Amino acid sequence: MAINNGAIAAQRLINEFGIENPNDYTIEELIHVRDIILEEKKISNSDGRIVFGKSKTKISINSDIKYIGRRRFTLAHELGHFELHHNLNTHLEDNALTLDYFKNGGQEYEANQFATELLMPSKSFIAYTQGKKFSPELLRDITEHFETSITSATFRYLELGQHPIFLFHCRDKKVIYWKNTNNYYRKVKDITKLQPPTDSVAMEFFNDGTIYRRGESAQEIVKSTWFETGENDSDDEYFEYAIVTKDYNTVLSVVWEK
């Protein structure tokens, strides 16, 4: 199993300051403790950026970010770059970073893992979700409890949650990648880099802008929507919850069986 450098760095920071509860501090406080200049301004096509100078580091956060959870994750991500990569780069800029959670690997993946562990420490996350039935409402509860983005909360659940799920990330009417809970295998249709399935909830959004209300978030689908089934479809109950980000024309589809 690969070493999770991002999580290790986050735990090192948590231990350094004796933090017991992720709600006991703000990301801004940690940034200031590291003597980093923090500015909030409009940034075109980017959530945040970090610039390493000879004696000072500056983090910029896009003032147009609408949701506090996304803002906190972006700040934690940039702080992760400082903790992990300040000797390697002079300038890093992140575009829709929580949407491309697994994009590029390497430094971006490590910074995402740092932010995830800092905002949703493994022990706290497992304790909070233990024994709770999986649903879109649970993901929203996680988001509110840890004050993070629903996208990052969903990826954290993929890693540590009790109920197995698949995630399909689509952008501009195309499947970018998919991920599944470890040891939960279903043969996914050969759709990467192609359009989402015609009968998927993701495709409903791309075709006509459909976004289901909270009470209707879990839309029932058939197994063959996303997975290979052979000659006969499965009678098992499958559901899809589409997390839509209209500003980036993306959908993160969460798929699970009852």
Q: Which residue has the higher pLDDT, 247 or 33?
A: 33
3-class secondary structure, 207: helix
Residues 6 or more apart whose CB falls under 8 angstroms from that of 217 comprise 136, 137, 241
Instruction: Enumerate the domain spans of the chain.
Output: 5-121, 164-257
Average pLDDT over residues 168-197: 95
222-238 confidence digits (pLDDT tens): 999 999 987 766 678 99
Confidence tier at 93 by pLDDT (50, 70, 90): low
Looking at residues 209-222, what average pLDDT do you find?
A: 96
Residues of the chain by 3-state class (helix, strand, coil), percent to 5: 40, 20, 40
- The pLDDT, as a whole number, for residue 96 is 47
pLDDT, greater one: 197 or 22: 197
Helices 106-119, 5-16: crossing angle, 10 deg rounding: 40
pLDDT of residue 206: 98
Instruction: Look at the chain and count its residues.
Output: 258
pLDDT of residue 97: 47
Average pLDDT over residues 162-172: 96
Burial degree of 137 (CB within 10 A; 0-12, 13-18, 19+): middle
Q: What is the pLDDT of residue 66?
A: 87
Residue 29 has pLDDT above 90, yes or no: yes
Inform me whether the pLDDT recorded for 101 exceeds 80. Answer: no
Spatial neighbors of 143 by CB under 8 A, at least 6 apart, are: 69, 149, 150, 153
Looking at residue 1, its pLDDT comes to 43
Q: Which fold has domain 5-121?
A: Arc Repressor Mutant, subunit A (1.10.10)
What are 103-148's pLDDT values in tens digits? 556 788 899 999 999 999 999 999 999 999 999 999 999 999 999 9
